[in-house]
Amino acid sequence: MNGTEPRPVHGGRQEASDPDIGAAAVDTTSLGRRAGKGALWAVGANLVMRVASIGITALLARLLSPKDFGVFAIALAVYLVVSSLAELGMGSAIARSAKEPDDIAPTIATISIAVSLGCAALLALTAPWLSSLLGQPSATQPLRILSICVALTGFFAVPGAQLVREFRQNRIFLATIVGFLVSNPVLVILALHGGGAEAFAWSRVIGQVATGVVFWFGTSRRYLPGWRASQVKPLLVFGLPLSIANLVNWTLLNADYMILGRLVSAAEVGVYMIAFNVGSWSTSILGSVLNSVVVPAFGRVSHDPVLLRKAIVRASRLVGLAALPIGALSVVLSDPIIRTLFGEKWIKAVPVLAVLAVYGVLYAFSLLFANVLVATGQTLRLLLIQVAWVLVLVPAMIVGLHLWGLTGAAWAHVVTISLVAIPGYVGAAVRATGASVRAMLAAILRPLAGALLAGAVAWVASSAVGPAWLRLAVGGVTGGVAYVAVVGGLLVPMLPSAIVPTWAPRAWQSSPSHEAV
């Protein structure tokens, strides 16, 4: 289950007028090549890890009960909210700013380690109270185990941010693979021996240690804790609003689990967790690209309004190309997906997944525009939108859950993001950059048409066959072919020429390039 939840809105930069953390002129051609290479690594890494994670989750769904999943979901929700404050957004100053790491990294390391240790101690001490408050006392021990992860966050904040800054997605991919290969065998072994929710927690600790070690040895230069008093104030001015925004963002992402923990059984929370994870496939794939590649590139061109507007349109197309078909196929194939991958005991997740797949697509776009605000220094505006989002989501979820159960809770997500988050983010991004809404809509029109066609074809084709696994295979293949037929001219120019299939039509290969930045 490692790495299945959507990523937070990491990163950000100070306004360009800030002399300490400001924009700098860049070689946009070199930046485009580096960002493009980084994007390919990020997409490839996420696809590989997504397939591997699906396999592990499917295995665990047969080894553990919905209650085990539900208890861990509650513990993980609390952990993610607390960990959003674990380094006060300090690492983002290295990843996004024009200031050299030599000047700020030692001070950032000191602040990050001190804050993460404090947050970890607080989480461990309050675990029994938090678990009882959320209606799941059995989450106490998993929470205490996860407090170790909070403590580790500060120690690996600087090396992780260095790799992001340098677009070294190959090293990040290696670290992710190592963490996955180390943690998941432990998870399976503990699950086989009755580890339950604690198995998830211990595997996350082990995976974080392994990933962090690769980060540390993969950096071009290593920094020990230090202190430069002159850097503290600008770092806090930069990091605190972003950290609070991340806190609100993670509260938003996990408010549903906290509400469900109070109102339904742990088993029902587990069903919702499976549906949410599958519905978030598009966000999981795109999150690394947006946080680790697109946003640093946005930050480097934010001094040039023309380049920034072009980057937003191209990034919108990239998000649409990936998120829309995944969402469409997840909606129409929700039944065979759940039956084939997770088994009959999870069948209650089918209608929930059909709704949350729509939310996953909308969230992918909201993540893009939230990161545009981060890259342009609009962290306060970002915070206000996210606060409004949470304030509307919580009562909407309670009402939806009361009237229609888990499916109602899922619809609360869709309605809230459609009426509050997306309009707020788009409006703020347009004001900050001068981008054209019409241009962004035009950029996703063809992917949207392709996704709708893919969904229709997949639904018709899958309805004609019997077993769930065959419906999934036939629907996925026919829907995928239909989608590529519509958007191939946009997809092929994004691929390195060495891997472009020989059968690709010449018109696709001669289409204008649509780089992410």
Domain boundaries, the chain: 60-276, 280-517
Higher per-residue pLDDT: 413 or 2? 413
Look at residue 284 and tell me whether its pLDDT is greater than 80: no
Q: How far is Cα 324 from Cα 450, in angstroms, rounded to an integer?
A: 8
Task: State percent of the chain over pLDDT 90.
Answer: 39
- pLDDT band of 293, cuts 50, 70, 90: low
Mean pLDDT over 107-127 rounds to 91
- Taking each helix axis as running N to C, give the angle between helix 305-332 and helix 437-463, from 0 to 180 degrees, rounded to the nearest 10: 20
Contacts of residue 201, Cβ cutoff 8 Å, sequence gap at least 6: 72, 75, 141, 142, 143, 145, 146
Look at residue 504 and tell me whether its pLDDT is greater than 60: yes
- pLDDT band of 102, cuts 50, 70, 90: confident
The pTM of this model reads 0.76
Contacts of residue 39, Cβ cutoff 8 Å, sequence gap at least 6: 169, 289, 293, 294, 318, 516
CA atoms within 13 A on the CB side of 134: 31
- Please state, rounded to an integer, the average pLDDT across all residues of the chain: 81
CA dihedral in degrees (309, 428, 40, 173; nearest 10)? 150
What does the chain come to in residues? 517
Look at residue 403 and tell me whether its pLDDT is greater than 90: yes
What local confidence, expressed as pLDDT, does residue 378 receive?
Answer: 82
- pLDDT band of 513, cuts 50, 70, 90: very low
Task: State percent of the chain over pLDDT 70.
Answer: 80
CA dihedral in degrees (387, 369, 175, 3; nearest 10)? 50
Mean pLDDT over 37-60 rounds to 71
- pLDDT band of 276, cuts 50, 70, 90: very high
CA dihedral in degrees (384, 387, 392, 394; nearest 10)? 170
Q: How far is Cα 105 from Cα 109, in angstroms, rounded to an integer?
A: 6
Look at residue 8 and tell me whether its pLDDT is greater than 50: no
Contact 106, 223 (CB under 8 A): yes
Higher per-residue pLDDT: 161 or 457? 457
Helix, coil or strand: residue 452: helix
The lowest-confidence range among 274-278, 302-306, 367-371, 481-485 is 302-306
Closest CA to 248 of 126, 389, 419: 389
Look at residue 325 and tell me whether its pLDDT is greater than 80: yes
Closest CA to 77 of 159, 19, 142: 142
Mean pLDDT over 271-277 rounds to 92
Look at residue 298 and tell me whether its pLDDT is greater than 80: no
Q: How far is Cα 29 from Cα 171, in angstroms, rounded to an integer?
A: 23
- Taking each helix axis as running N to C, give the angle between helix 229-263 and helix 101-133, from 0 to 180 degrees, rounded to the nearest 10: 20
Q: Count of CB atoms within 10 A of residue 202's CB?
A: 18
Look at residue 22 and tell me whether its pLDDT is greater than 80: no
Tell me the residue type at 267: A
Q: How far is Cα 246 from Cα 326, in angstroms, rounded to an integer?
A: 26
